[in-house]
């Protein structure tokens, strides 16, 4: 590689890293507790616990909906969801209007058997961490900004791999020059940790970027696929009364055999049209549990209107989520995720240190050159 | 000819280990998603490989330092 090419890649690596450093540190630091958010919520008492019922039958969906509305009088239901890892809990989302602002949504957990209110969901310190991690309390612009920082991170990684060759070609793999200066030692650690974590960092970085586009993708789906699914119902007003949710669930299951309902979106919410329920169905394997299939049902009669697989970009979004969160391989994978997160912090920190040292060295060099050029007093 | 084959040998020497680790990481990330419980076990080993490499290098550096210190102390 020519010296000029190395310099060019070095400039790309330096500046893409420097511009994104503060935000990447924020993402790594807030991401660390978020890996264990479930455990932390449980420890701090923010995780609702279902009652023990033995093998008792689960309450009907309509009964859960009634309980949710009774717990939040004067408001409307937006979504009801079932977490496959928490079979004893049903979560209900209420808001002042079906298309109300996300920040006004109240999320509550109900016992899946008795429909007893178990408490609010998604509150406490982990909510602050989540908001800092996803949009820095700046809404959609904050999300897109962090997505941009994620792209810079990806460029920094690629340029780092290119620079790995000229910096390490005379060394054996995983050599740390312990007898050299502190700067050289940290350069070796920076190169080693950076290159061994490259695949993980790229996957987590890029899936994070994809996640920041979630709302844009959802809007695209609504404008194209969903619009064509509800086209035969164009001009129909919002339902004057809602169909029984038990009917909605039963018909959705008949339409997607072998699948379970992941969540139901009520008519008028961002996930469906103003006239339809959308039941998002999931499979039972690790992969199919992530790939949701929407079934649209008439809001008044509960009849199935249409059902289509999600487009590739939304499927990519759904698959990218576990790859970003690291929550799909049990506790050992979470611990590994946390260790890799810490290693990324070391790479970012050491990169910053190396830049500062080089800057200081150059400044000293310039001062020396100036001193040499200055006339000697007689 | 000679120079080119030397360069490719050098290239392999520099990038072989990182490529193997990256491939293992990718395989593990997908295995847990596609193969259920067995995939999870695969992921623990392969996604954890970079952590193990860093831990191994760190321990090696520490033991080398300690060894040199002990040898120096014995020499005195």
Q: Name which of A2, A158, A336 to mutate to probe chain B: the one with the most chain B Cβ atoms within 10 A of its Cβ.
A: A336
User: ∠ at Cα A318 (A78, A48), nearest 5°?
Assistant: 50
Residues lower than pLDDT 70 in chain A: 370-378
Determine the pLDDT at residue A374: 59
CA–chain centroid gap for B58, Å, is: 12
Element (H, E) at A92: strand A89-95
Q: Name which of A286, A321, A344 to mutate to probe chain B: the one with the most chain B Cβ atoms within 10 A of its Cβ.
A: A286
CB neighbourhood size of A153 (10 A):
27
| Contact predicate A44/A226, CB 8 Å | no
Q: In B, which residues are within 8 Å of A168 by CB distance?
A: 14
Determine the pLDDT at residue A375: 58
Beta strands A117-120 and A260-265, pairing class: unpaired
CA distance A336 to A24: 19
Q: In A, which residues are within 8 Å of B47 by CB distance?
A: 200, 329, 333, 336-337, 340
Give pTM, 2 decimals: 0.88
Contact flag A200-B48 (C-beta cutoff 8 Å): no
Determine the pLDDT at residue A231: 87
What is the mean pLDDT, run by run of 10 residues, along chain B of 76 residues?
70 93 97 92 97 97 78 64
3-class SS of residue A302 = coil
**CA of A140, closest CA in chain B: separation in Å?**
29
Contact flag A328-B33 (C-beta cutoff 8 Å): yes
Determine the pLDDT at residue A378: 45
Determine the pLDDT at residue A116: 95
CA distance B50 to B16: 14
| Cβ density class A301-329: b for 16+ within 10 Å, e for less | ebebbbbeebeeebeebbbbbbbbbbbbb
Determine the pLDDT at residue A261: 96
Q: Which of B36, B53, B61 sits opposite A285 (nearest CB)?
A: B36
DSSP state, A224?
Answer: I
CA distance B51 to B56: 8
Q: Please tell me if residue A2 touches chain B, with a CB cutoff of 8 Å.
A: no
Query: How big is the A-B interface in CB pairs under 8 Å?
Result: 97
CA distance A43 to A49: 12
Contact flag A178-B47 (C-beta cutoff 8 Å): no
**Of A226, A227, A245, A232, nearest to A300 (Cα)?**
A245
3-class SS of residue A375 = coil
Separation in Å, CA A247 to CA A37, A299, A336, B64, B74: 35, 11, 44, 70, 83
Separation in Å, CA B32 to CA A35, A205, A327, A333, B44: 16, 19, 10, 9, 9
**Of A337, A284, A87, A200, nearest to B36 (Cα)?**
A284
């Amino acid at each position: 590689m020519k010296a000029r090419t190395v310099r060019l890649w070095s400039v790309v690596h330096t500046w893409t890293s420097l511009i994104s450093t503060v935000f990447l540190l924020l993402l790594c630091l807030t991401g660390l507790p978020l890996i264990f958010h479930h455990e932390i919520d449980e420890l701090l008492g923010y995780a609702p616990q279902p009652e023990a019922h033995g093998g008792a039958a689960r309450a009907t969906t309509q009964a859960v909906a009634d309980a949710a509305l009774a717990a939040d009088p004067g408001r409307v239901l937006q979504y009801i969801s079932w977490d496959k890892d928490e079979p004893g809990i049903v979560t209900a989302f209420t808001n002042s209007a079906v298309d109300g602002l996300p920040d006004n949504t109240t999320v509550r957990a109900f016992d899946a058997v008795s429909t007893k209110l178990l408490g609010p969901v998604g509150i406490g310190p982990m909510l602050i961490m989540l908001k800092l991690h996803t949009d820095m309390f700046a809404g959609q612009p904050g999300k897109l900004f962090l997505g941009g920082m994620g792209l810079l991170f990806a460029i920094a990684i690629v340029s780092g791999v290119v620079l790995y060759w000229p910096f390490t070609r005379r060394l054996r793999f995983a050599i740390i020059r312990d007898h050299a200066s502190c700067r050289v030692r940290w350069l070796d650690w920076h190169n080693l940790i950076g290159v061994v974590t490259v695949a993980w960092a790229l996957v987590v970085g890029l899936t994070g970027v994809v996640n920041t586009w979630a709302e844009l993708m959802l809007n695209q789906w609504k404008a194209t696929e969903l619009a064509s699914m509800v086209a035969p119902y164009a001009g129909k007003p919002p339902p004057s009364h809602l169909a029984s949710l038990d009917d909605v669930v039963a018909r959705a299951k008949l339409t997607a055999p072998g699948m379970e309902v992941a969540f139901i979106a009520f008519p008028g919410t961002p996930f469906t049209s103003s006239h339809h329920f959308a039941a998002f169905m999931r499979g039972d394997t690790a992969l199919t549990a992530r790939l949701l299939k929407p079934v649209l049902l008439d809001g008044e009669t509960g009849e199935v209107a249409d059902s289509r697989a999600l487009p590739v970009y939304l499927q990519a979004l759904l698959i990218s989520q576990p790859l970003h969160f690291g929550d799909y391989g049990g506790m050992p994978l979470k611990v590994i995720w946390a260790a890799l997160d810490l290693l990324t912090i070391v790479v970012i920190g050491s990169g910053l240190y190396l830049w500062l040292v080089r800057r200081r060295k150059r400044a000293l060099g310039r001062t020396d050159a100036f001193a040499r050029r200055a006339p000697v007093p007689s | 000819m000679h120079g080119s084959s030397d360069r490719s040998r050098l290239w392999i020497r520099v990038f072989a280990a990182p490529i193997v680790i990256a491939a293992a990481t990718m395989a593990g990330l997908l295995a847990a998603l596609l193969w259920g419980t067995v995939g999870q076990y695969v992921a623990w080993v392969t996604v954890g490989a970079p952590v193990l490499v860093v831990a191994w290098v760190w321990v090696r550096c520490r033991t080398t330092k300690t060894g040199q210190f002990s040898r120096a102390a014995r020499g005195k």
